[in-house]
Amino acid sequence: MVNIKNYLRLNKLPHIWCPGCGNGTVVRALITAIDKLGFKKDEIVVFTGIGCSARTNAILDFNTIQTTHGRTLAFATGFKLMRPEMKVIVITGDGDGAAIGGNHLIHAARRNVDITTILINNSIYGMTGGQYSPLSPQGAYATTAPYGNIEPPFDICELVKAAGATFVGRGTVYHIHLTIDLITKALSHKGFSFVEVISQCPVGYGRRNNMRSPYEMLLWQKEHAIMVKQADKYSKEDLKDKFLIGELWVNHERTEFMDSYNALVKRLSEGMKGGEV
């Protein structure tokens, strides 16, 4: 097993997350995947935005950049254009990535820029006090939904797939081996790769929604997740309150953004030599 301490800023531990928060486990999954693929620490740059998920870059010992709320992918796209040899990873949350940064997410997917995005979905805005997010389940309680959330949530994986992402997967903190596997595949994929990790927020979400301990929240993940390969064995009725996990979508046919950009540069510079643009 990977020695996780080699990849952590030990002077930042213990981290600031609440007891039982899934973010720490997602960080472990990411580190395990990076170690498996043999990347050097200097080859990696991790971008985060604002929120609990953004604190991941406080403890990760890579090149780390914390950006403004939701704009993470815009910064990361710019960086990737300047330094295409670097492995760019974006860690975002359900509020940061799907609400404030929703537009950046769909356009990064549309461009198919070679960035791996990990969206930690804990169904709530944890850091700001438990407001519901666009990924909070319908009927869930939050400080801004004291009588239950009336809005239906996005299926963020379907959204990103429809926008043009070329690798889409969903794991959970409970299914940690699957999550490690998905992040490994996403990091090895060329193009926009997206992994949603269903996580737990026992303090902001769980205690308002009848799951008082982190353990109960992990059991919820276990009971509500269905492997995508098994999905056709279930009826529509059975799948109503469940979510699919696993490798949801892979497309190797779309051209990666940097490849299109380099082709353009090549075409124009050849044109210049010939005296026309």
Partner 1 sequence: MPKKFKVNLNPKWCKSCGICVEFCPKRVFEFSKDGKVRVVREGDCIGCKNCELRCPDYAVEVWEEEA
Site string for partner 1, 238-267 (x = CB under 8 A): ------------------------------
Stretch that binds partner 1, among 12-20, 108-116, 188-196, 238-246 (CB under 8 A): 12-20
CB atoms within 10 A of CB 210: 9
CA 60 to each of CA 21, 22, 86, 161, 246: distance values in angstroms, whole numbers, following the listed order: 16, 15, 16, 28, 25
Q: Which residue among 43, 215, 255, 270 contacts partner 1 (CB under 8 A)?
A: 215
Only one residue has tokens 């959330």, namely 149
Choose between 156 and 176: whose C-beta lies nearer to partner 1.
Answer: 176
Angle between helices 72-82 and 102-111 (to 10 degrees): 30
Stretch that binds partner 1, among 11-19, 42-50, 188-196, 229-237 (CB under 8 A): 11-19
Choose between 176 and 187: whose C-beta lies nearer to partner 1.
Answer: 176
Within residues 13-42, the interface with partner 1 by CB under 8 A covers 13-15, 17-25, 28
Within residues 99-128, the interface with partner 1 by CB under 8 A covers none
Report the distance separating Cα 104 and Cα 140, nearest Å: 26
Choose between 108 and 218: whose C-beta lies nearer to partner 1.
Answer: 218
Type and span of the H or E element at 214? helix 214-224
Backbone angles phi, psi at 222, to 5 degrees: -60, -45
Within residues 184-213, the interface with partner 1 by CB under 8 A covers 202, 213
Q: Which residue among 89, 120, 218, 244 contacts partner 1 (CB under 8 A)?
A: 218
Nearest 5°: the CA angle 56, 57, 59 is 75
Choose between 140 and 176: whose C-beta lies nearer to partner 1.
Answer: 176
Choose between 126 and 202: whose C-beta lies nearer to partner 1.
Answer: 202
Report the distance separating Cα 212 and Cα 92, nearest Å: 25
Report the distance separating Cα 61 and Cα 39, nearest Å: 13
In the structure encoding, which two tokens stand for residue 26, read together? 């997602």
Question: What does the DSSP 8-state code read for residue 175?
Answer: S
Beta carbon of residue 11, minimum distance to partner 1 (angstroms, whole number): 12
Choose between 25 and 184: whose C-beta lies nearer to partner 1.
Answer: 25
Within residues 161-180, the interface with partner 1 by CB under 8 A covers 173-174, 176
Site string for partner 1, 51-70 (x = CB under 8 A): --------------------
- DSSP class per residue in 77-128: HHHHHH-TTSEEEEEEEHHIIIIITHHHHHHHHHHT-S-EEEEEE-SEETTT
| Phi-psi domain of 155 (left: phi exceeds 0; alpha: psi -120 through 50; beta: other) | beta
What is the separation, in whole angstroms, between the first and last Cα of the chain? Answer: 55
Beta carbon of residue 93, minimum distance to partner 1 (angstroms, whole number): 15
Choose between 215 and 234: whose C-beta lies nearer to partner 1.
Answer: 215
Beta carbon of residue 245, minimum distance to partner 1 (angstroms, whole number): 16
Binding residues vs partner 1 (CB under 8 A): 1, 4-5, 8, 13-15, 17-25, 28, 173-174, 176, 202, 213-215, 218
